[in-house]
Amino acid sequence: MSLFRPGSARAARLLVIAAALSIAGCAGTTVHEVASRPPTLSSLPPRSIGVVIEDESLPPEKPSRRARQAADLRTVSAALSERIPKLLASHRLAVVPAGQPPDLILRCRILALRSGSKALRVFVGYGAGKTVLQVGVTLADPAARDAPLLDFATHSTTGSMPGGGYGIPALVGEGLKALQKDGLAVEVDQTLQAIDSRVGAYFLSQGWPYPTLPQLGEP
């Protein structure tokens, strides 16, 4: 005899997915310490931009964790170095290589990162094994010695929700797919979205264009 009434299979499937999302934990990015000021030298819209990715993260206190952090740093630095120029180019900004003078410089400083432990996020939760990515971002006019035009920091984390009792039924099918979406890859995605949103808002506040190029297949 079936334990489920007709029509309840879909509800059970949704519960499994919800449980998996609870295991993976809340993925979210917040933006702190936003400061901005208008440009002082020129009101002309910028056409070119330079991108600088720097590491200002502190090594873990435990030597056993330093190799893991170094690997995480290489992964995140490579992702930001590749994807931020593509993001800016999608808004019709010419991204210039190092050594050439741009109209603006976008500097991203990796302040803290930790890939954490998916096993701890799944079976313990409440912050155990959570993923962390913090990035300080400035937008500056290289011809001016004043404070940056825009200054903010992003804080992105996964893994603050309960794990434990939700685990076993969710580690199959849709539940497993949901679990695979957490970690540094999610934090990088959300950090890029936050950078795009803040830089775009600043451009628009100055009356500068920040158009989005159509994606492949769009009219």
Looking at per-residue pLDDT, the higher value among 29 and 111 belongs to 111
For 26-73, how does the pLDDT look when each residue is reduced to its tens digit (9 = 90+)? 457 899 888 998 887 666 799 999 999 999 999 888 898 889 899 999
Please give the C-alpha separations between residue 194 and each of 47, 156, 190, 208, in angstroms, as whole numbers.
21, 10, 6, 19
Residue 10 scores a pLDDT above 60: no
Contacts of 120 (CB under 8 A, 6+ apart): 128, 129, 159, 163
The residue-averaged pLDDT of 175-181 equals 43
Q: Report the pLDDT value the prediction gives residue 180, as an integer from 0 to 100.
A: 46
pLDDT tier at 189, thresholds 50, 70, 90: very high
Residue 22 scores a pLDDT above 70: no
Give me the residue label for tokens 């410089």: 105
pLDDT tier at 114, thresholds 50, 70, 90: confident
The Cβ-side half-sphere exposure at 64, using a 13 Å CA radius, reads 0
SS (H, E, C) 2-13: CCCCCCCHHHHH
CA distance 202 to 130: 32
Q: Is 193 exposed, middle or buried (0-12, 13-18, 19+ CB in 10 A)?
A: middle
Please give the C-alpha separations between residue 45 and each of 24, 49, 85, 105, 149, in angstroms, as whole numbers.
42, 11, 18, 14, 14
Residue 53's beta-bridge partner residues?
A: 108
Q: Please say whether the dihedral angle defined by the alpha carbons of residues 40, 41, 43 and 49, taken in this order, is positive or negative.
A: negative
CA distance 128 to 20: 16
Percent of the chain at pLDDT > 70 equals 66
Q: Report the pLDDT value the prediction gives residue 177, as an integer from 0 to 100.
A: 44
- 6-32 burial: b if 16+ Cβ within 10 Å, else e: eeeeeeeeeebeebbbbbbbebebebe
pLDDT tier at 144, thresholds 50, 70, 90: confident
Provide the token pair at 58. Answer: 């502190």
